[in-house]
Each structure stands twice: as structure tokens, then as C-alpha cells.
Amino acid sequence: MKANNTTSNAEQRQSEANTDRTNVANWIAAHPADGIAVTGDWNESEDPGERTNWSGHNIGDTLPNLNQPYQPITIMHSPGLIDPSPASIAGNHDTIDSTTPDARFDYTMWAKMYLLGGQVFDTKQYTTAQLAALNAANGTNFVRDDSAIASDHLPVLSIFQLGGTPPAPAIFDVSRASGTFSIAYQKIISSTYTYAVESSSDLVNWATTPSQNTILEQNGDIQTVRSTVATGVSTRFFLRVRLTISP
């Protein structure tokens, strides 16, 4: 979308987002069985704490001529696209500039597919050992400065599955304390995805279990949650996460 940081640039960026939203929504409505990925350099970040690309203004401020709150990324998100917000190997989600990234301008949003993984690729965020291992595993010869030389933006890599059985929720940790059992897992924030923590004492009969949920981390629409349930006096207690996907 439109680059630069003046008010007229921000208005054009917002207008482009409005048009793209309509086109994407119409495409999804006309292709209900198909997956969609919408990617690009949208020249703005709405991530908390990041600089805005409308000089002297903030996200949500009113655009003078459009009389709309300035939210181009929210507009792009609004047809039902999911934002995975992949991170670099060092845990950074920003993509510009490639030398000292401090804002996320580049996006891969999707719907009606399954996210398998992704990364913001930046050679200088690898340690020497990590870069050597990457090269050995892939037959490459990357050096530390390659990403900064290649472009002023860092590439965003995402791997999707179209069709087939949806991947199970990623489980990161389980722990047990006196009278409680906890499970940490990753979930996608979307009306299409519903998650339920279930318990069993015999691995045969399962039931949804009331849980206390704590959000450990959220990036884009990908959330890491810890669910804690009471075990009572059970001597055998099992937990699982059930994912239900609506059409």
C-alpha cells in the first residue's frame, strides 16, 4: 500500500485498504470452499508500542478528508483474515528496516487454510552456530549481513496447509501442582476456531472441564494460553485440547 508518511499518503493508504477489504470479502463470499492468503508491504504497523507511519499522528486518529479513524491494518484484517505474526529466530516480529528492524510493515494474512508455521527471516539474528547449522541443513551459504544487503525489508515466510485434516493445537507445557493440572497451548483467535480443554480419568471418557485461563503471549491472532483445572481427589487425571473448526 501507499508508502511515505504525510497525511495524503495515510489517506491513500487507508483508501487502498478500504478497496482491498471489499475485494477480499467479495472473493471469500464467491469462493467459500477455497483458502486465501493476502500478503504484502502495507507500510504501517498497528502493533502496540511501534511507531506509526503517519507523521505526527497515532493509529485511530481521524483522517481529515476521509473522516475515518486511521486503521489500515485493522481494515485489511476485517474480512476475516487471520494474522499469524511470525517472528524471527530471535523472537522479533518487525520487518523494517532490515538493518535495525523496529516496525512490522509486511504481512501474510490468511483464511480457510491451516497455519503450519512461519518466520521473519533475518540472517543477522542467527548466532554463528545457528547460521552454520542452517547452512549445513539446507546446503546454503548465508552470512550474517545477507538480509540487510538483499532488501530494506525482511521477508516473511509462512507455511500453510490447504485441505486435509487440520493440525492439532500445539501444546507447549503441562504441569501439576497440589489439586490442579495445567496445560499450555497455542490457539488461533477466530470465529472459525473453537478450543475446549477436556479431562478424563481413563483416556476413554472425556468431558469439557471448567478451567482458569491465563494468556501468556499474543502476537497477531496467535495466542498462547495456560489453562488450569482442578483435579480434585483423582489419582488418574488426563487433559487434552479439542479443536473444532466451523465452515
Concatenated DSSP letters of 104-134: --EEEEEESSEEEEEEE--GGGS-HHHHHHH
Q: What is the pLDDT, as a whole number, of residue 231?
A: 86
* 189 & 218 share domain: yes
Residue type present at position 103: A
Q: Can you tell me which residue has the cell 506509526?
A: 52
* 186 & 157 share domain: no
Answer yes or no: is 80 within a domain: yes
83-113 residue pLDDT tens: 999 999 999 999 999 999 999 999 999 999 9
Answer yes or no: is 13 within a domain: yes
128-147 residue pLDDT tens: 999 999 999 999 999 999 99
* 19 & 121 share domain: yes
CA separation for the pair 29, 60 (Å, rounded)? 28
Number of domains composing the chain: 2
List Cβ neighbours of 181 (8 Å cut-off, separation of 6 or more).
174, 175, 199, 228, 229, 231, 237, 239
* 154 & 198 share domain: no
Residue type present at position 160: F
Residue 208 predicted with pLDDT over 80: yes
* 115 & 228 share domain: no
How does residue 237 score in pLDDT terms, banded at 50, 70 and 90? confident
Three-state DSSP class for residue 30 = helix
**Domain residue limits at 196:** 171-245
Answer yes or no: is 232 within a domain: yes
- Can you tell me the mean pLDDT for 11-16? 98
* 127 & 230 share domain: no
CATH assignment at residue 219: 2.60.40.10
Q: What mean pLDDT value characterizes the chain? A: 94
- Can you tell me the mean pLDDT for 64-91? 97
